[in-house]
């Protein structure tokens, strides 16, 4: 007995059809390039001494990150410029004392480290008494609540004493700096 074609029973032709392959999973979204998802991060600095540099980097040229200082005495904001084909890159790290999550600040003592990656050069102020953040503000990013909170940190400042290499044979003075970057605060996990 044969099945009528309208009965839904398999036919020789449909049984031989290959099963369609599932669509490939979409590739993960690329990580956004730049410092801030809002696109308005920047780093500007005027450096004189052993090096003469006028830094003016904008969001797409920067990587930035930040959070509470390890000892809890303020915040740390780090910026890295574009990686050059020869492996060189400028990195600046600002350790801002007395800055608290979400709060503005004025005349905040600041430690500054400038690293020239790929050149084996590092300059540091070695303390909070040589640079000052004149003005600092913080704008909340993302949704409220949660155990992780991010802020856009905007700061302007200057140094009154030079940063030197570890052997103190070279010095640079960061006459002025201003930046907009990101800091993220995490609640401590259960112990």
Q: What is the pLDDT of residues 68-83, one digit of tens each?
A: 998 889 999 999 999 9
pTM for the model: 0.80
57 sits in which H/E element: strand 53-58
16 sits in which H/E element: helix 12-16
pLDDT value of position 25: 54
Contacts 24+ apart (CB under 8 A), 68-71: 68/101, 68/183, 68/185, 69/95, 69/97
pLDDT value of position 17: 52
Q: What is the pLDDT of residues 130-162, one digit of tens each?
A: 999 999 999 999 877 777 899 999 999 999 999
- Give the mean model confidence (pLDDT) for residues 166-186: 94
- Give the mean model confidence (pLDDT) for residues 56-63: 96
pLDDT value of position 3: 40
Task: Give me the chain's average pLDDT, please.
Answer: 86
- Give the mean model confidence (pLDDT) for residues 166-179: 94
């Amino acid at each position: 007995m044969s099945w009528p074609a309208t009965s839904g029973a398999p036919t020789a032709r449909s049984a031989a059809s290959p099963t369609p392959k599932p669509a490939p999973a979409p590739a993960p979204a690329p990580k956004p390039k730049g410092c801030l998802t809002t696109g308005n991060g920047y780093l500007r600095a005027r450096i004189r001494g052993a090096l003469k540099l006028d830094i003016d980097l904008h969001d797409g040229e920067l990587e930035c990150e930040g959070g509470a200082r390890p000892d809890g005495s303020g915040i740390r904001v780090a910026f890295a410029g574009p990686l050059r084909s020869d492996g060189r890159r400028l990195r600046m790290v600002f350790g801002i004392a007395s800055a608290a999550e979400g709060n503005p600040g004025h005349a905040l003592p600041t430690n500054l480290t400038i690293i020239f990656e790929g050149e084996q050069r590092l300059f540091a102020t070695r303390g909070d008494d040589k640079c000052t953040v004149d003005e600092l503000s913080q704008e909340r990013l993302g949704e409220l609540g949660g155990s992780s909170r991010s802020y856009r940190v905007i700061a302007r400042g200057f140094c009154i004493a030079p940063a030197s290499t570890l052997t103190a044979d070279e010095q640079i003075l960061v006459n002025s700096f201003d930046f907009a970057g990101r800091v993220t605060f995490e609640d401590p996990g259960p112990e």
